[in-house]
Amino acid sequence: MSETIITLATRNEGKRLELEQWLSLQNSPIRLQLNHTVGDIEETGSSFLENALIKAQSTPPVVSGGWVLAEDSGLVVDALDGFYGLSPFPGLHSNRWLTPEIRETLLGQSFPNRGPLDRVTEAGITNSDLCYGLLQLMQGQSNRQARYCCGMVLWHPDSQQRIEFLESVELWMIDTEPRGLNGFGYDPIMVPLNAAGRPASQTVAELSPESKNLMSHRGKAFHKILSEWLKAF
């Protein structure tokens, strides 16, 4: 198979690098590119898959006649279900639940990002703010388990064909403080659990990219969607 360019519908360079690293481990000829002419896309869907499709359909491929890959993912913390009117929490609002007003109430300050792939929202919320805000809400909670959900869509604008998957990874625990400088998002406070439910010694942000990709909700969804795509085409 010759090299194939797929457009990744995101402005998050961390997501592109994570998926590129997964492709490298698979010795895949597929390469991902971002369309830098596309600005922020309003996520108005009621599910991760709906938001992923909105992103895919709003992003022109960088290669004429090419495919567009989009995903929407988020953290689900059952112990906090219903907080700030969100069920599941934070779910679809994983990057948006912490407003400047809530941050001021919970934290009283903003925390600088820890790694080069961390982002700042349009409202001025850092990834570190999100982590510390979640840790503040988790104080006194006995159930610290969480799971990531990822809706992913591979979309072909010319033919209107699409392949989609929803991947959920449930074995995670929220740590008590941020640790590690790798990854992005909530990685510094997320600890993987093994099949017996025992926490690992490292947070996701302390793992190598290769180790993270072996358990990544995004990588697993990507593997399934590419498998379906290769079977069909």
Active site residue 129: no
In 100-216, which ranges are continuous DSSP H helix? 100-106, 127-137, 209-215
Marked catalytic residue, from 40, 72, 78, 81: 72
The residue among 163, 166, 223 whose CA lies nearest residue 49 is 166
Q: 4-8 and 190-192 as β-strands: parallel, antiparallel, unpaired?
A: unpaired
217: tokens are 């909700």
Instruction: Give the whole-angstrom CA distance, residue 99 versus residue 173.
Output: 24
3-state helix, strand and coil shares in percent for the chain, rounded to the nearest 5: 35, 25, 45
Catalytically active residues are: 72
